[in-house]
Amino acid sequence: MKLIKLYKNFKIDSICTRYGIKNYTINSDGTVDVDGDVSLSSCKLTKLPLKFGKVSGNFFCNFNKLTSLERSPKSVGGNFNCYSNKLTILEGCPRSVGGNFHCGNNNLTTLEGMTKSVGSHFNCSDNRLISLKGCPKSVGGHFYLMNNHLEDLYGFTEFFDGSIYHHDNPVSEILYLFKNVKLGKVIDLINEYDVIQQDGKLVILDRLEEVFHTLNMKIPEINLKNYEVY
């Protein structure tokens, strides 16, 4: 058993040396904690080379060929960047991220499995998202969801107070109607009043108008191209 453990530790040491990982601790379960940053960017990885535990700094695994986030750290104190891979799901990602979480430019259709708490900005732009189910419960910075296929807003982080960047989604034409107002509040009301129905195909006009009334806003001319209006 001792020889097996020594061999496993030697193998982990070798991998850490190869990828420039320093200040690490090998735990009894084989996971690796790192006091500092881990940079695995542009390494042509199809999977993460180690099973990580806690990483106190940033964790970068962007510009690879990852199809899974299995072996990701359980927690990241800084930024977690996995953009520009081939991810279709976020299962296995860290449970908490203290800084930014960037998963843009992948093949995601859902956010299920996503980290529940992001300390700063959350960026899921340039994917194939058709649903916001699985959104983080809290995001401390801005929210970027540009260039997706979102037709509704159900599942979006409630009571979100930061800026929301949403262009190039079907639902963007509804959000563009609301100017000079916090979009987090708008989205909360759109979802609360069930404005968008039938799997993102139908907008109930009087419910949409009620959102404007609730916000004490003048109702603009409403001409929607991506929805049937009832």
Confidence label for 8 from pLDDT (cuts 50, 70 and 90): confident
Degrees to nearest 5, angle at CA 177 with 175 and 178:
75
Q: How far apart are CA 228 and CA 223, in angstroms?
A: 10
How far apart, in Å, do the first and last CA atoms of the chain sit? 70
Q: Residue range 65-78: average pLDDT?
A: 98
Instruction: Identify the band that residue 225 occupies on the pLDDT scale cut at 50, 70 and 90.
Output: very high
Average pLDDT, the chain: 95
User: Does residue 2 have a pLDDT over 90?
Assistant: no
Centroid of chain to Cα 21? 25
DSSP-H helix ranges across 87-223: 172-175, 183-192, 205-214
pTM equals: 0.93
The single-letter DSSP state of residue 55 is: E
> Long-range contacts made by residues 72-77, C-beta under 8 angstroms, separation at least 24?
72/48, 73/34, 73/38, 74/31
pLDDT for 102: 98
Predicted confidence (pLDDT) at residue 4 exceeds the cutoff of 80: no
Residue with tokens 């995601």, as numbered in its chain: 108
Q: Does 204 score more than 90 pLDDT? A: yes
Mean pLDDT of 173-193: 97
CA of 134: how far to CAs of 90, 156, 210, in Å? 10, 8, 27
- How is residue 7 written in tokens? 């061999």
Cα–Cα distance list, 66 to 48, 54, 186, 201 (Å): 8, 20, 35, 33
pLDDT digits (tens, 9 = 90+) for 81-116: 999 999 999 999 999 999 999 999 999 999 999 999
Query: Token digits for 71?
Result: 């072996």
Label residue 29 by pLDDT band (50, 70, 90). very high
pLDDT band (50, 70, 90) for residue 5:
low
- Mean pLDDT across 155-177: 97
Mean pLDDT for 37-64 is: 98
Q: What is the pLDDT of residues 118-135, one digit of tens each?
A: 999 999 999 999 999 999
